Amino acid sequence: MKKLNLDNRKHLLRVTPWFIIFILLVSCASAPRVTLPEQENRELSILPAGARVYLWADVVQGRPLLDAISSFYFTGEGVSDILDTTHSAAVAIFSAEQAQSQGRRFFLAAIGSFPRNRANLALGFNRSWRRQRSVTGSTFWYSESNNIALTLGSNLALVSDADPYEEFVFEIPPPGFVEFNRGHALAGWVNEPSDFINNFLSSMGIPLQVPAENLFFGATSLPDAVSSMAGWDLLFRINTAPPAQARSLLTLFSMARLFTMQGPQIPFAEDPVSISPQEAARLLFANTPTQDESALILRVGPLDEGTIALLFEMFSIYSN
């Protein structure tokens, strides 16, 4: 099975949202002066525009899945305690190329019940963290060794690798995402996803060029009645412009599915530590793709939390 090299694992560690929350709550910060609108997925409305990947999570509903993702990077009870205090979170992740022009690699907004006073006291005695003044006049905490800037209120936290108060254009979720996200414990989208999809297909030896406008993904917990094992339904929605393109994609992906399913089916390792593109393709094409007007739908499931965590780990490489 293909292994991720050390540089890739370091990269994944930097951009994994739950690592950022970990840094946030073991240290913590001062109160952000940000008013959240009263709307669905409201954390998304205060993220900067122009990122490659946007991810939103209902921490309560998605807790088993988030625990599995976190286990790739941390052991012990620390992460569990952190997730206990977080209700929901959204993160914008910029590619390396985007980060050069945007001046930041990520931006996270989390809603929860955070220990603000205890956190500020802890930071005051921690030499790794220093107060800095934003260009807006507000103050925030910054750790040079971790390249983490953060500000914390009792219910809202902002975390980035740049000034969290810096003015920027806010992201507007793509049309249809709010409706798509309803019922999902974890969901997000990839902006300009053609390169991501094409690189992934190329890694499997499938030379397809997909003209995708955006890519939605979401994970939903399946009740025990649906499956003999408690699992998750993973959904990918590739949005195109006219329905004719979606029909063409349906034909191409159906052919790719036949290509993927040919040959001997080697079983997965009992406790895999990574997943190859070929193994991921077997999962993604396990069910026949379908069309929904101008979108191609890939429905994957039931999957256990560990398998989804492996998929997210691998996909993060191709989204960079």
Task: Give the start-to-end residue ranges of the domains of the chain.
Answer: 6-160, 177-318
Average pLDDT of the segment spanning 151-180: 87
Whether pLDDT at 263 is above 60: no
Please report the pLDDT score of residue 316 as a whole number.
73
Q: What is the pLDDT of residues 127-153, one digit of tens each?
A: 778 888 888 888 888 888 878 888 877
Please report the pLDDT score of residue 43 as a whole number.
80
The dihedral of CA 297, 303, 305, 308: what is its sign?
A: negative
Terminal Cα-to-Cα distance of the chain (whole angstroms): 22
Share of the chain above pLDDT 70, in %: 72
Q: What is the pTM of this model?
A: 0.79
Please report the pLDDT score of residue 54 as a whole number.
93
Q: How confident is the model at residue 216 (pLDDT cuts 50, 70, 90)?
A: very high
**Higher per-residue confidence, 60 vs 21:** 60
**Higher per-residue confidence, 216 vs 68:** 216
Average pLDDT of the segment spanning 174-178: 90
Average pLDDT of the segment spanning 228-245: 82
Backbone angles phi, psi at 136, to 5 degrees: -85, -5
Query: Which structure tokens are listed for 245?
Result: 């393109």
CB atoms inside a 10 Å sphere around CB 295: 23
User: What's the mean per-residue pLDDT of the chain?
Assistant: 76
Whether pLDDT at 84 is above 50: yes
Which of 86-90, 151-155, 186-190, 229-233 has maximum average pLDDT? 186-190
Backbone angles phi, psi at 219, to 5 degrees: -125, 135
Query: Which structure tokens are listed for 255?
Result: 């052919």
Please report the pLDDT score of residue 214 as a whole number.
87
Average pLDDT of the segment spanning 30-41: 54
CA-based R_g, the chain, Å: 20
Please report the pLDDT score of residue 83 as a whole number.
67
Instruction: With beta carbons less than 8 A apart as the criterion, state whether 169 and 92 touch.
Output: no
Please report the pLDDT score of residue 270 as a whole number.
58
Please report the pLDDT score of residue 32 as a whole number.
57
Question: Whats the size of the chain, residue-wise?
Answer: 320
Spatial distance between the Cα atoms of 254 and 19, rounded to a whole number of angstroms: 37
Whether pLDDT at 275 is above 70: yes
- Lowest mean pLDDT, pick from 12-26, 152-166, 173-187, 247-261: 12-26
Share of the chain above pLDDT 90, in %: 11
Whether pLDDT at 211 is above 60: yes
Peptide bond before 264: cis, by omega within 30 degrees of 0?
no
Please report the pLDDT score of residue 26 as a whole number.
39
DSSP string covering 111-171: EE---HHHHHHHHHT-TTEEEEE-TTS-EEEEETTTTEEEEE-SSEEEEESS-TT---PBP
Instruction: With beta carbons less than 8 A apart as the criterion, state whether 300 and 315 touch.
Output: no
Q: How confident is the model at residue 309 (pLDDT cuts 50, 70, 90)?
A: confident
Instruction: With beta carbons less than 8 A apart as the criterion, state whether 141 and 27 touch.
Output: yes
